[in-house]
Amino acid sequence: MQIPRILISASNSSSGKTMLTCGIARALRMRGYEVQTFKVGPDFIDPKYLSLASGRRAVNLDSWLMSEEEILRDFEKYCEGADLALIEGVRSLYDSSDPLSLKGSTFSVAKILKAPILLTVDIRGLNMGTAAIVKGFASLFSANIQGVILNSSRGERHEFKAKKAVEELAKIKVLGAIPRKKELEISMRHLGLITVEEIEKEVEEKVKKWAEIVEERLDLDELLKIAESAEELPEVKERYEKKNFEANIAIALDKSFNFYYAQNLDKLKALGAKLSFFSTLEDELFEEIDGIMIGGGYPEVFAKEFNKKTMRALKNKIEDDCPTYAECGGLMFLCKKIVVGGEKFEGVGLIPAEAILDLSKRFLGYTKAKVVEENVISGKGEKLLGHEFHYSYLDLENDMKYAYELERGYGIDGIHDGIIIHNCLASYMHMLFPKESVGRFLEKCKEYRSS
């Protein structure tokens, strides 16, 4: 398969990758290109920005959670109908969970996709040092860095010095420089950028500004030439069994809960599920529903706005053994209380626990779990990969039944994750579902429907 593509990486985190990738996507879209965006790594927030910028749904690619074949398959699948692909990296080009391993790094995805790399460098306080950074990144594992973008410049003289150093000492072309301006920045909170769902109008205005400055300050024609130089990829076909479960799945989607992998939802639909979306902030009924999913998000921010009627309806439905899967924020939501700054808010009340927000505690990283109890997505003895990112913990009133023992990660108590209660599984671990897990969940939904 031949698809023009380019990967935008950086010398370190917070170097402006999301701003640049969104700006480039929108600028090319305004030129008439269909641009498919991707995000490397376990991230639910940046893809929403990329989706808004490009007008096409962004998709995650992760070499820790996915095989090489899965990365190629999903890349090709979601590029259908696109003129080119933009891939935003995670952290720096080489950083992963292990300081001596490339698994999970941006570089590993670039290598699998044979994607030319644009390296973004924050040049605050640098001139010749910019060349040292670029040369080091290019030479460490012979990365295919085809261009450099200078970010956070303080003026034309600063840009001139850094550009000259990179092009003469590192021998790599500089495609342009972005000045440091407050108007280009966007709000952050403890899990990253403020979500698009909360400030969509503000994000749209920011994306327009990013696109304008990209069009003005970057050589987009050269960028397109680099993208078109990408090698052909081997074609990988999707392997789905022909099944049609015809299950009705209710998925929480609002300002509170919106962390979902695109692939997970598409796998459900591919196996016949009909997806409907509900808000935890409004009155909802769940009468014709065969299964429920509650993803991650910010329940601690919107806890006082939760609709009590909807929470009661959810609790009744789950206690009726409706198959339910909840991740991270969804786990917190199902608890009796959510505690924020000492103030207690009502949760669904299914799990006998208080979910306590504590910004002094952070549980971040990839997870590896052994399934010790059968549940709605996996059978005993299976091994599952995932990731966690939370600043909360549970204060449980009594012992619980757990689905997972963790070989890596913290989960609920450093050893276990995945509370099983009724026909519900609620965990801190986020998963990019294996197709077997999707099939198992829908089978449980089918059984519930016929009971």
| Tens-digit pLDDT string for the chain (451 aa) | 799 999 999 998 878 899 999 999 999 999 999 999 999 999 999 999 999 999 999 999 999 999 999 999 999 999 999 999 999 999 999 999 889 999 999 999 999 999 999 999 999 999 999 999 999 999 999 999 999 999 999 999 999 999 999 999 999 999 999 998 777 777 666 666 788 888 888 889 999 999 999 999 999 999 999 999 999 999 887 766 667 888 999 999 999 999 999 999 999 999 999 999 999 999 988 889 999 999 999 999 999 999 999 999 999 999 999 999 999 999 999 999 999 999 999 999 999 999 999 999 999 999 999 999 999 999 999 999 999 999 999 999 999 999 999 999 999 999 999 999 999 999 999 999 998 999 999 999 999 999 8
Tokens of 8: 């935008």
Q: How far is CA 45 from the centre of its chain?
A: 6
CA dihedral (133, 135, 138, 140) positive or negative: negative
SS3 436: helix
Q: Which 3-state string (H, E, C) describes 71-91? A: HHHHHHHHCCCCCEEEEECCC
Kindly list the catalytic residues: 328
Please name the fold of domain 248-450: Rossmann fold (3.40.50)
pLDDT at 188: 66
pLDDT at 97: 86
pLDDT at 239: 67
Residue 239: count other Cβ atoms within 10 Å of its Cβ: 8
SS3 169: helix
Tokens of 189: 């909170």
365: left (phi over 0), alpha (psi -120 to 50) or beta: left
Nearest one of 187, 224, 219 to 203, comparing CA atoms: 187
Name beta bridge partners: 277.
251
φ and ψ of 139, to 5 deg:
-95, -20
Which residues, including other chains, have CB under 8 Å from residue 166's CB and lie 6 or more apart?
130, 131, 134, 148, 150, 172, 174
CA distance readout (Å), 327 to 176, 298, 300, 316, 330: 41, 12, 14, 19, 5
Tokens of 271: 């196996």
Domain boundaries of the chain, sorted by first residue: 5-228, 248-450
pLDDT at 13: 84
Q: Domain 5-228: what homologous superfamily?
A: P-loop containing nucleotide triphosphate hydrolases (3.40.50.300)
SS3 234: coil
pLDDT at 180: 84
**pTM of whole model > 0.85?**
yes
- Say whether 248-450 and 5-228 share the same fold: yes
Written as one letter, the residue type at 24 is I
Half-sphere exposure of 85 toward its Cβ, with a 13 Å CA cutoff? 34
